[in-house]
């Protein structure tokens, strides 16, 4: 296992809490940066004087930045102390969002969004490892879940606020807000996250993760199994306005409900992950396979759509379990494996957005994207079954008791 952080003196509960809060604020900045542009896409397209599909490429640009940046940054900075890494990543995020806020044309915005995605996977991966290292082994899932609360709270308050802000003063203000949150995270990390020595990982050790079948299978569970959520999320604004019949002023409330579901799901998921990561992953996939297609039926009425959005958000409960499983199967390549999780989620984002576009282009309607979730969740369950079966075969050198529980 990779060397964990061992501060010179035990952290007080107050400082540990502030460290986790600081890490969560960084997650809040990244969460707003990832999800808010989806909900403000029409405003950005109008401001850029571009079509909706063309402007939608900035979603893919961000996802591509995550996929490229997560392994690249982690490998090149394997020996950099984790606190310094966290601070550097947040400074980079702040700068990229400043550029996004002043972009005068679509190509510039696309480049800025690509660069904004670069810190995403590496930050969450390192933040999860730092949080896990500050607590006991049996409470890792809950520690990771608390750090990930920033990502889920982004959908409770961050996305609704930035959507309302976009309606009031323009979409550029949302990117400026992200830059401010990223800057505040650098201060929090400097004050409360304990110092650590340079990483003990080597380039060869980090690259060894790509030879571990269990890591690939676990990432495939995410990349395939959770694309359905993004198929719905990419088109959530036009679905709620055109199918549900909501006004623009009502959208922040509905996005907030989705975020509440994510927050509750993350907390419950952290508790369940400490019991059994694999069973938790399977349970969440089954939940998504049931809840996502129901949105296709419930989207026509404001009340049922609201209830379903709350239930859909709970699907984020998988994050602590997946993160814990990756820690167990990654061997000495903990850092890069942790960062690759968020690259896998952005692969799911890309797959979901593509599949959703196919459904819409086929004339099946915006709400039909819910059924995409059933097929993709089933694919994720198949990937998980293959992973468990392979792990239980004789001479499998990556099997661990906690990962197969």
Say yes or no: domain 13-404 is CATH 1.20.210.10: no
Percent of the chain topping pLDDT 70:
91
pTM value?
0.72
Q: 357 φ, ψ to 5°?
A: -65, -35
Q: What pLDDT sits at residue 92?
A: 96
Q: At what angle do helices 106-133 and 41-48 cross, to 10 degrees?
A: 150
Quick one: which of 304, 97, 35 has its CA closest to 296?
304
Q: 18 φ, ψ to 5°?
A: -70, -35
Q: What pLDDT sits at residue 262?
A: 84
Cβ count near 216 (within 10 Å): 18
Give just the sign of the alpha carbon dihedral 385, 390, 394, 399: negative
pLDDT(200) > 60: no
Q: What pLDDT sits at residue 10?
A: 60
Question: Using one digit for the tens of pLDDT, what is the confidence trace for 94-110?
Answer: 999 999 999 999 999 99
pLDDT(264) > 70: yes
Distances in Å between the Cα of 272 and the Cα atoms of 42, 128, 197, 330, 334 are 38, 17, 32, 21, 21
What does the DSSP assignment read for 202-214?
-HHHHHGGGG-HH
What percentage of the chain's residues is helix, strand, coil (to nearest 5)? 85, 0, 15
Is residue 46 within 8 A of residue 166, CB to CB? The reply is no
pLDDT(328) > 70: yes
DSSP type of residue 392 = T
pLDDT(405) > 50: no
Question: Using one digit for the tens of pLDDT, what is the confidence trace for 142-154?
Answer: 777 777 777 777 8
Contacts of 402 (CB under 8 A, 6+ apart): 277, 324, 328
Q: What pLDDT sits at residue 396?
A: 52
Q: How much is the average pLDDT of 237-248?
A: 88
pLDDT band at 11 (very low <50, low <70, confident <90, very high): low
Q: What pLDDT sits at residue 369?
A: 84
């Amino acid at each position: 296992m990779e060397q964990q952080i061992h501060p010179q003196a035990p952290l007080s509960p107050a400082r540990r809490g502030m460290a986790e809060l600081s890490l969560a604020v960084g997650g809040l900045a990244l969460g707003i940066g990832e999800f808010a542009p989806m909900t403000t896409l029409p405003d950005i397209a109008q401001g850029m004087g571009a079509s909706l599909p063309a402007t939608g490429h900035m979603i893919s640009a961000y996802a591509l930045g995550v996929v490229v940046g997560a392994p690249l940054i982690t490998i090149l900075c394997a020996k950099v102390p984790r606190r310094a890494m966290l601070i550097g990543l947040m400074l980079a995020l702040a700068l990229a969002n400043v550029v996004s806020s002043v972009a005068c044309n679509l190509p510039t915005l696309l480049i800025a969004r690509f660069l904004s995605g670069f810190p995403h996977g590496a930050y969450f991966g390192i933040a999860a490892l730092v949080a896990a290292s500050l607590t006991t082994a049996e409470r890792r899932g809950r520690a990771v879940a608390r750090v990930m609360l920033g990502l889920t709270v982004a959908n409770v308050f961050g996305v609704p606020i930035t959507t309302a802000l976009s309606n009031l003063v323009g979409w550029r203000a949302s990117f400026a807000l992200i830059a401010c949150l990223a800057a505040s995270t650098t201060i929090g990390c400097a004050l409360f996250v304990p110092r650590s020595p340079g990483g003990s990982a080597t380039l060869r050790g980090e690259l060894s993760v790509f030879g571990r079948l269990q890591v690939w299978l676990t990432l495939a569970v995410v990349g395939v199994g959770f694309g359905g959520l993004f198929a719905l999320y990419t088109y959530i604004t036009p679905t709620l306005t055109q199918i549900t019949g909501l006004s623009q002023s009502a959208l922040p409330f509905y996005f907030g409900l989705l975020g509440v579901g994510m927050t509750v799901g993350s907390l419950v998921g952290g508790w369940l992950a400490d019991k059994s990561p694999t069973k938790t992953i399977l349970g969440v996939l089954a939940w998504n396979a049931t809840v996502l297609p129901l949105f296709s039926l419930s989207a026509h009425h404001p009340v049922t759509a609201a209830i379903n959005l709350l239930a859909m958000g709970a699907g984020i409960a998988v994050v602590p379990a997946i993160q814990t499983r990756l820690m167990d199967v990654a061997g000495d390549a903990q850092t890069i494996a942790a960062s690759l999780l968020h690259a896998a989620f952005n692969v799911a984002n890309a797959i979901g957005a593509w599949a959703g576009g196919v459904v819409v282009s086929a004339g099946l309607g915006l709400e039909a994207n819910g059924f995409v979730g059933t097929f993709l969740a089933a694919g994720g369950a198949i990937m998980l079954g293959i992973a468990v079966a392979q792990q239980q075969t004789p001479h499998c050198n990556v099997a661990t008791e906690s990962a197969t529980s």
